[in-house]
Structure 1
Amino acid sequence: MSDSMTNYTIRDEIRDYWSARAATFDEQAGHEIFSEEERQAWRELFLRHLGQGDGRRALDLAAGTGVISHLLDGLDFEVTGLDWSEAMLSRAKAKARARGANIRFVIGDAEQTLEQPGSYDVIVTRHLVWTLVDPRTAFREWHSLLKPGGKVLIIDGDFISNTLVKRMIQLIERLTGRSVATPHTPNAMRETHERILKQVHFSNGAKAGDVADLLRDAGFANIQIDQNLSRIHREQARNLPFFKALERQTQHRYAVVASKPA
């Protein structure tokens, strides 16, 4: 086996998986935002937990194509978007140029960012935590990046555990021999996704309580779990296939906000 393959880690596979999805990432509801109603629902979530930006520094971790970065920029945060995929970042930068947005995009690992400690007022992640290989290390890193009194806002979910709707979808797929929840996802991509899931920390599902416990261990305080994301999911469902929309609205999805003690 060549050295390049021997040194190919699960983190590399995660990076390459999302790089391969970059070209079509913004075509899917739940990634890009397709209505002003959904955009407003996201703004309300951020304002509820973070307040208006007023020039404060925000770090969007696993920024992807920059959807969350642009939302934060619109709320007057000074935004840095960090992602490990060059393909994702090139799309994020193109969006910023098209909008004339002054967003700094940098390539980096969300678990070891190489950003300056104590330099951010806010850290936001969307659908990152469930993919982390070592969330304990990541959360300590994020804690170090925040200024005293700074906040982290994690938007994520348990996409693994079976629900009644998920079991129903699996039965239909077995009977029909085709995917009804993700009909346009190539089989090879689904297989890679499943292989990655078996190797990450939250291989049994990222539950809000477990995320909160790890944040507490990393030194965060004032931890709150917000499961009032129904407006966001309702707007996303308008642009999803029927079974995917049904699954989304019955999954354990949440926002967790926590503070670095002042």
Structure 2
Amino acid sequence: MRSVETNYSIRDEIRDYWSMRAASFDESVGHEIFSEAERRGWHRLLRKHLGAGQGRAALDLACGTAVISHLLDDLGFQVTGADWSEDMLARARRKAEARGADIRFVMRDAENTMEPRESYDVITNRHLVWTLVDPSAAFAEWFALLKPGGKLLIVDTNQDATCLGTRIRKAWEKLTGQPNGAGVVTDLAAAERHRRIREQVYFSAMMPAEAVVALLQKAGFVDPVVDRSMGDIHWAQARKMTLLQGFERLTQDRYAICVTKPTG
């Protein structure tokens, strides 16, 4: 039998996967913020690399339910939150309305935003880079969106780097037959979709910060800083997790990367 032609792409798969997870997204530690200690840690990290907001324009890519968007708003940035999932954006808008936050939300593909060139002072994203099909094209797009001297801050994880905490968790799961990892997808359909996505994205295996930096530099960014000093955030998150989850969080290779668009 001849296969049916379809225009459904991996990008559509990624969008639909996160739309499916939108309803429970904020229930996970590491997605939503569950303590003031963690909130202070995020504020510290953002100030360290981006400075004070002072009304400067910030684009939070793949904003999800707008956790980072609200942190930027706290610091005085004029924030646009962009996501490709309308379900995520609906929740983000409700949060902003409840808080009275003046955040603009738009439905955008992070690899082709259609936003005006050189219109943002800073761009942020958290746990987005691993989902990119073509990171070189995405980084070129983000470079074009920034004003000269603008900053890009990426927060992500070397996901398949098997740290001690992950090895212990997986051994426990094998012994007990019970998933115990933070953010582990237990729904079989969702887990299968996640597996298909991981097989097709650019960073389908490990994603060391150095590999991300190399692609950013090819896109024209300069002055890369890889910051793994995020213990205040991770300790606060670990305190809201099970013992195994918390230990894994504290031993994973999690990092922030800050790069700059040249002024010349």
TM-score, normalised to structure 1, is: 0.96
CA distance in 1, matches of 2:186, 2:174: 17
Contact 1:65-1:91 at 8 Å conserved across structures: yes
Which segment drifts farther, 154-163 or 46-55? Answer: 154-163
Which residue is equivalent to 2:25? Answer: 25
Contact 2:58-2:78 at 8 Å conserved across structures: yes
| Amino acid in structure 1 at the alignment position of 2:217 | R
Asked if 1:202 is matched to 2:198, the reply is: no
Residues 65-104 of structure 1 correspond to what in structure 2 (within 5 A)? 65-104=65-104
Q: 5+ residue gaps in structure 2?
A: none
| Amino acid in structure 2 at the alignment position of 1:196 | I
1:28 offset after TM fit, Å? Answer: 0.9
Q: Deviations over 1:168-207 (max 9, x none)?
A: 2222222222212257732322222222111111111221
Sort the Cα spacing of 1:153 and 1:163 in 2 relative to 1 into closer, same or farther, 3 A: same
Q: Deviations over 1:73-115 (max 9, x none)?
A: 1101000000000000000000111111110000010000000
What is the total number of aligned residue pairs between the two structures? 260
Q: 5+ residue gaps in structure 1?
A: none
| Amino acid in structure 1 at the alignment position of 2:28 | Q
1:258 offset after TM fit, Å? Answer: 0.4
> Alignment identity in percent?
56
TM-score, normalised to structure 2, is: 0.95
Three-state SS of the structure 1 residue aligned to 2:200 is coil
Asked if 1:43 is matched to 2:43, the reply is: yes
CA distance in 2, matches of 1:180, 1:52: 38
Which segment drifts farther, 104-113 or 234-243? Answer: 234-243
Contact 1:220-1:260 at 8 Å conserved across structures: yes
Contact 1:130-1:205 at 8 Å conserved across structures: no
Which residue is equivalent to 1:188? Answer: 189
Contact 2:10-2:200 at 8 Å conserved across structures: yes
